[in-house]
Amino acid sequence: MTEHHQVSGAEILNWNREESPLIRVRIPSDTVPGGLALAMVPMFVKWQSSPTGFGADDYYIVQNVNIVNNPVGNVLVLATLKVFAASVESVQFVAVTTKVKGRDTPFGHAMLRFIFKEDRRPVILDQQGIPLTNDSEVSDLVLSWEAWRPPEASFDPLKGLDPATYALTPRCSVGAVRCLTDSLLNRPWHCYTLNLPDVPHAHDEMLYSCFALADAVARQTVSHLIDGRIGRGQKLFEDYADASDSDWDAIGEYSRGANLPEDPIRDVLDGKISYQLLERSCITMALLSLDWGNHRIHRRAGLPEPKRIQIAPESMPSFLSELVSGERTPLLLRIPAALHWIMHNQTLVVGKAPKMLAEIGMLERRMGRPVRTVYDNRRTTPYGGLLDHVIY
């Protein structure tokens, strides 16, 4: 076992104060205070430096994006990216399947992949906030919700049934970096392109909604680590204002009426449910993000209410739907109230997420069937053949 090196809280705060941190991480050893892997630190959006809107000059400053991952050298690089707000070409739901004895299983991981227009690609920034010399652009980003663990600790599904075991971290990676990781683990990608309303900036709105939810949960997770939980009347970060009393009252009303199982963990262990029942799930969070974004796209365009993704026991409650209908800045200010529901009412999603998306019309179809592209990444990747990129 590698001896761990804990990065101090002061160092982390100094990085966060920088406009565009660039950090080289030793994967098996570097930890944050409390022992969790620095390599799995969540992404953050620097909202105060990110102009709102979908104009040509609007963008997000996104920190802690994994731009390099060298498992042989045991290092990765977390960088800051400038992501243009009006830039998304398409969005994919990616089901990453786990192989056992060479065969795919229904188990695995869920991610969201954002593919950008060629002339509006995200730019990697150096520590002075200037695009990297020579090759600063990336073609796609992958957003992945994961169980935050200590270095060299594997995910244990049974332990994951206990909501106290793992922290929830939304990680953001350059697509090719994430693809390399799954290639080494022999995990194919099953990519489904989303079918969004044909209105201006639909794909850009989805990116914003996913960034907003990921950033908010990242802040909630970090606040737990420093023992600063979101509470009534408490303000955690300068980017967010306090939730109103009416928001908290609505949360209480919904929580009392929610149709939750009495003992979800017991139900799983008794075999009543075919997959894990987690308060934090890669699939649940990906679907919640898509549900929220789709609802917001319809509201902004004045379209009829969309069908909701039926995330058991229910999808987003009505008061959360109201949050996604307003302007972007008020949404950010009121998001702590939404988090209270999200963090306490996530439950099982049966491992057939693409079918759930197809049933409400959110996947592109060909001849009546959802379009799926499979990359067995040890042979073919979305970025070409692996051997085409090796210099030896």
pLDDT per residue as tens digits for the range 75-109: 999 999 999 999 999 999 999 877 666 666 556 78
Cβ pair 170, 206 in contact under 8 A? no
36 in Cβ contact with 112 (< 8 Å): no
For 33-46, what is the mean pLDDT? 88
CA gap 133, 131 in Å, rounded: 6
Measured distance CA(32)–CA(186) in Å, rounded = 29
Looking at the DSSP assignment, which residues form a beta bridge with residue 89?
none
Q: Token pair for residue 39? A: 């390599």
Phi first, then psi, for residue 109 (nearest 5°) are -140, 150
To which residue do tokens 């660039």 refer? 22
Sign of the CA dihedral 349, 351, 353, 358? negative
pLDDT of residue 4: 87
The number of beta carbons lying within 10 Å of the beta carbon of residue 35 is: 12
Does residue 315 carry a pLDDT above 90?
Answer: no
CA distance 254 to 317: 7
Q: Looking at residue 243, what is its pLDDT?
A: 54
Q: Nearest 5 degrees, angle CA 11-CA 217-CA 9? A: 15
Dihedral in degrees, nearest 10, Cα atoms 236, 237, 239, 245? 10
Range of the domain at 60: 5-389
120-157 pLDDT, tens digit per residue, is 999 999 999 999 998 999 999 999 988 888 888 777 66
Q: What percent of the chain clears pLDDT 70, i.e. is strictly above it?
A: 68
Q: Helix count (H) and strand count (E) of the chain?
A: 9, 17
Q: What is the token pair recorded at 260?
A: 């939750």
- Cβ neighbors of 367 (< 8 A, separation 6 or more) are none
CB atoms within 10 A of CB 122: 23
| Mean pLDDT calculated for residue range 335-357 | 61
pLDDT at residue 348 is higher than 50? no
Q: Which of 10-24, 238-252, 264-278, 294-308 has the lowest mean pLDDT?
A: 264-278
- Sequence-distant (6+) residues with CB within 8 A of 179 are 189, 375, 377, 381, 382, 383
Record the tokens describing residue 98, joined without a space: 């786990």
Q: Is the pLDDT of residue 263 over 60?
A: no
* Cross-strand partners of 5: 30
**Whole-angstrom Cα distance, residue 78 to residue 43?**
9
The two structure tokens encoding residue 108: 């695995």
The arithmetic mean of pLDDT across residues 383-387, rounded, is 83
Q: Output 148 or 61, whichever has higher pLDDT.
A: 61
Residues in Cβ contact with 272 at an 8 Å cutoff, skipping those fewer than 6 apart: none
- d(CA 85, CA 156) in angstroms, rounded, equals 37
Question: Which pLDDT belongs to residue 332?
Answer: 58
Which amino acid, 212? A
177-217 pLDDT per residue, tens: 999 998 888 888 999 999 999 999 999 999 998 898 888 77
Can you read off the two tokens belonging to residue 196?
Answer: 């969004």
Q: Torsion over CA of 65, 300, 87 and 383, rounded to 10 degrees?
A: 70
Half-sphere exposure of 177 (CA within 13 A, CB side): 23
- Residue 168's pLDDT band, with cuts at 50, 70 and 90, is confident
Say what the pLDDT of residue 279 is. Answer: 43
275 vs 316, residue with greater confidence = 316
Take residue 162 and report the two structure tokens written for it: 């206990």
pLDDT for 392 equals 80
Question: Does residue 321 carry a pLDDT above 80?
Answer: no
Q: Quick one: pLDDT at residue 97?
A: 76
Q: At what angle do helices 245-257 and 328-344 cross, to 10 degrees?
A: 30
Q: What is the mean pLDDT of residues 360-377?
A: 90
Q: Does the pLDDT value for residue 362 go beyond 70? A: yes
pLDDT of residue 380: 86
Query: What is the C-alpha separation between 150 and 27, in angstroms, rounded?
Result: 10
**Higher-pLDDT residue of 165, 90:** 90
Q: Is the pLDDT of residue 337 over 70?
A: no
Whole-angstrom distance, CA of residue 291 vs CA of residue 315: 8
- In the chain, the number of structural domains is 1
DSSP state letters, 324-373: TTS-HHHHHHHHHHHHHHHHHS-----S-HHHHHHHTT-B-EETTEE-EE
When mean pLDDT is compared over 20-29, 30-39, 116-125, 127-136, the highest value belongs to 116-125
Find the angle CA(310)-CA(311)-CA(316) to the nearest 5 degrees.
85
| Tally of residues, the chain | 392
pLDDT band at 240 (very low <50, low <70, confident <90, very high): low
Question: Distance (Å, rounded) from C-alpha 54 to C-alpha 161?
Answer: 40
DSSP 185: T
The answer to whether 53 and 80 are in contact (CB under 8 A) is no
